[in-house]
């Protein structure tokens, strides 16, 4: 069975150099990090847009072929025009679905032509798939941008197996109902043979929308994946928490150069503790709230001034959208304000870096940190939390994690969980993390590493393909869910 992976972007980006040439750079973001090892190990085809730069010219084609030879799988670019980029990528994907599915209604814009733009692009992707697919191939479409590809494929008469995985959260019914194209989006989802989401919460939300909006639907099963029947078709819907290549992260983090770099980063901070943040520039990642929590901690605990540094790496993303450009300015202002207020001789409280860093340096920072602060307002999974744990081959370090990251389901027993909207609560959790005794840190990190290793990327792929192929879903295991409990329930007055 050949694997055809389809995503908005290819795992490489072509960039125009200042001398007019074109170069290939690795793509960034969670989807690419997760899927690259899957195709590297299994081989197959990756279909997606090549990013800026264009594909004309012999030199560019040669670059692409060399990248294919190196990566071990075939790359098929789908070129989009500027107009298509605007309507589909900007309008439909990143101004409508992305904010709405992360519950951020005030940032959501529904442009009237956005769904038709998404359908036109979906048809382009579908044509590329039908050109390449051979009988027996398994087509696996990724993420919200391409939800319409299933519908376009079926409309073109394609009858092969097609599955879809949503990397971002699926919203609750109340939120989903706001989408002007709610019926079309749901109907398109139901053209796939299997739809995977990250968590049980997302699965519950999706099934609730299906029940409410699809008359006559029958839902069977209660495990990790269930079967949905309507209009003579069966669609499977399941929760498949994505993971990382644990062994690869752990073994690279354990190498001598990474250990040496981590030691030198620690030495640079002399006896200070390091709190680390690593994120794509995105308003879902809770960055202003995180800075506010850190400032609150310094304000409330003068003893920590000069004793702890927040190192924040933000990788540039979607800067052409005004909400992202505004977030970038907001972060610069907030960092400036905190540093202006608390800096003293020899200590700058926030070291803010607006750039992508290479893997080895990222691993060194993961190893050097005392605390990783991963506080998205909502996140499908969040791989940074998992990468941090995998990199801690020394068995130390504390993870402070948002309850609203999908990763909270697997990491709830080892992380300190926070509500990122509660800045005072986050500041308190950070104080607790900084003060945690070594024994507790190590016990928690053992649990975290065990969970990340168990739910690694290979298990994710295998369980997804199993659910797509197996005859019966009986015995398909439920995945763990995070449900917040009131720790102080006894304190709630009876009336």
CB 406, min distance to ligand ADQ, A: 6
Residue nearest to ligand ADQ (CB): 30
Q: Report helix, strand or coil for 451.
A: helix
* 280 part of the interface to ligand ADQ, by CB under 6 A: yes
| Active-site residue, selected from the candidate residues 102, 145, 167, 455 | 167
* 250 part of the interface to ligand ADQ, by CB under 6 A: no
> Residue from 382, 410, 423, 426 that binds ligand ADQ (CB under 6 A)?
382
Q: Could you give phi then psi for residue 252, rounded to 5 degrees?
A: -70, -35
Q: Using CB under 6 A, which residues numbered 296 to 335 contact ligand ADQ?
A: 313-315
Cβ distance to ligand ADQ smaller for residue 225 or 384: 384
353: its two tokens: 């870096």
381: its two tokens: 């999974």
* 7 part of the interface to ligand ADQ, by CB under 6 A: no
Burial class for 358, CB neighbours closer than 10 Å (0-12, 13-18, 19+): exposed
Residue 199 makes CB contacts below 8 A (sequence gap 6+) with 169, 239, 241, 381, 406, 409, 479, 481, 482
389: its two tokens: 């744990």
202 in catalytic set:
no
Q: Report helix, strand or coil for 235.
A: strand
Q: Using CB under 6 A, which residues numbered 346 to 365 contact ligand ADQ?
A: 356-357, 362
> Residue from 139, 190, 242, 304 that binds ligand ADQ (CB under 6 A)?
242
Cβ distance to ligand ADQ smaller for residue 102 or 441: 102
CB 224, min distance to ligand ADQ, A: 17
65: its two tokens: 């072929």
| Active-site residue, selected from the candidate residues 137, 279, 370, 379 | 379
Q: Tally the C-alpha atoms within 13 A of residue 28's C-alpha that lie toward its C-beta.
A: 16
Q: Report helix, strand or coil for 236.
A: strand
Residue 164 makes CB contacts below 8 A (sequence gap 6+) with 140, 141, 142, 146, 147, 149, 150, 189, 192, 194, 195, 196
The site that binds ligand ADQ (CB under 6 A) totals a number of residues, namely 25
In angstroms, the Cα distances linking 123 to 23, 97, 137 are 29, 19, 19
* 239 part of the interface to ligand ADQ, by CB under 6 A: no
Calpha distance 431→408 (Å, rounded): 20
167 in catalytic set:
yes
Q: Using CB under 6 A, which residues numbered 22 to 51 contact ligand ADQ?
A: 28-31, 33-34
Cβ distance to ligand ADQ smaller for residue 34 or 429: 34
Among residues 377, 407, 384, 168, which one has the least CA distance to residue 293?
377
> Residue from 95, 193, 202, 387 that binds ligand ADQ (CB under 6 A)?
387
Q: Using CB under 6 A, which residues numbered 82 to 111 contact ligand ADQ?
A: none
Cβ distance to ligand ADQ smaller for residue 38 or 133: 38
> Residue from 36, 145, 151, 167 that binds ligand ADQ (CB under 6 A)?
167
Cβ distance to ligand ADQ smaller for residue 101 or 342: 101
Cβ distance to ligand ADQ smaller for residue 362 or 417: 362
Catalytic residues, by residue number, are 167, 379
Residues lying near ligand ADQ in the complex (CB under 6 A) are found at 28-31, 33-34, 167-168, 242, 278-280, 313-315, 356-357, 362, 379-384, 387
């Amino acid at each position: 069975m050949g694997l055809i992976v389809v995503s908005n972007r290819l795992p490489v980006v072509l960039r125009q150099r200042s001398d007019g040439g074109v170069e290939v750079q690795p793509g960034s973001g969670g989807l690419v990090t997760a899927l690259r090892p899957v195709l590297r190990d299994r081989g197959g085809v990756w279909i997606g847009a090549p990013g800026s730069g264009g594909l004309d010219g012999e030199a560019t084609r040669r670059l692409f072929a060399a990248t294919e030879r190196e990566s071990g799988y075939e790359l098929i670019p789908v070129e989009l025009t500027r107009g298509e980029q605007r309507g589909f990528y900007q309008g439909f994907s990143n101004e409508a679905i992305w904010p709405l599915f992360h519950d951020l209604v005030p940032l959501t814009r529904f442009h009237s032509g956005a769904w038709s733009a998404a359908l036109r692009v979906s048809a382009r992707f579908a044509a590329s798939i039908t050109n390449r697919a051979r009988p027996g191939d398994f087509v696996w479409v990724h993420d919200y941008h391409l939800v319409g590809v299933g519908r376009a494929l079926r409309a073109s008469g394609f009858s092969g197996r097609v599955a879809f995985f949503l990397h971002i959260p699926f919203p609750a019914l109340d939120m989903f109902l706001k989408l002007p194209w709610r019926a079309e989006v749901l109907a398109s989802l139901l053209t796939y043979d299997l739809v995977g989401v990250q968590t049980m919460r997302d699965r519950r939300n999706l099934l609730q929308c299906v029940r409410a909006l699809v008359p006559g639907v029958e839902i069977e099963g209660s495990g990790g994946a269930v079967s949905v029947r309507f209009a003579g078709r069966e669609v499977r819907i399941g929760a498949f928490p994505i993971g990382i290549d644990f062994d690869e992260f752990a073994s690279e983090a354990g190498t001598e150069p990474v250990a040496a770099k981590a030691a030198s980063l620690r030495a640079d901070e002399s006896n200070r503790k390091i709190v680390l943040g690593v994120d794509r520039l995105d308003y879902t990642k809770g960055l202003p709230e995180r800075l506010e929590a850190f400032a609150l901690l310094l304000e409330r605990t003068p003893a920590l001034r000069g004793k702890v540094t927040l190192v924040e790496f933000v990788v540039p993303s979607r800067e052409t959208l005004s909400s992202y450009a505004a977030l970038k300015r907001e972060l610069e202002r907030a960092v400036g304000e905190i540093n202006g207020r608390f800096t003293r001789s020899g200590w700058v409280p926030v070291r803010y870096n607006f750039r992508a860093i290479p893997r080895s340096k990222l691993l060194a920072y993961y190893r050097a940190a005392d605390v990783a602060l991963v506080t998205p307002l909502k996140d499908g999974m969040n791989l940074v939390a998992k990468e941090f744990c995998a990199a801690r081959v020394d068995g130390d370090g504390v993870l402070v994690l948002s309850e609203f990251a999908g990763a909270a389901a697997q990491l709830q027993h080892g992380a300190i969980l926070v509500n990122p909207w509660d800045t005072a609560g986050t500041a308190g959790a950070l104080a607790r993390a900084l003060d945690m005794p070594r024994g507790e840190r190590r016990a928690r990190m053992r649990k975290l590493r065990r969970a990340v290793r168990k739910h690694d990327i290979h298990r994710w792929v295998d369980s997804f393909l199993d659910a797509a192929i197996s005859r019966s879903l009986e015995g398909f295991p439920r995945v763990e869910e995070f449900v917040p409990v009131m720790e102080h329930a006894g304190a709630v007055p009876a009336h």
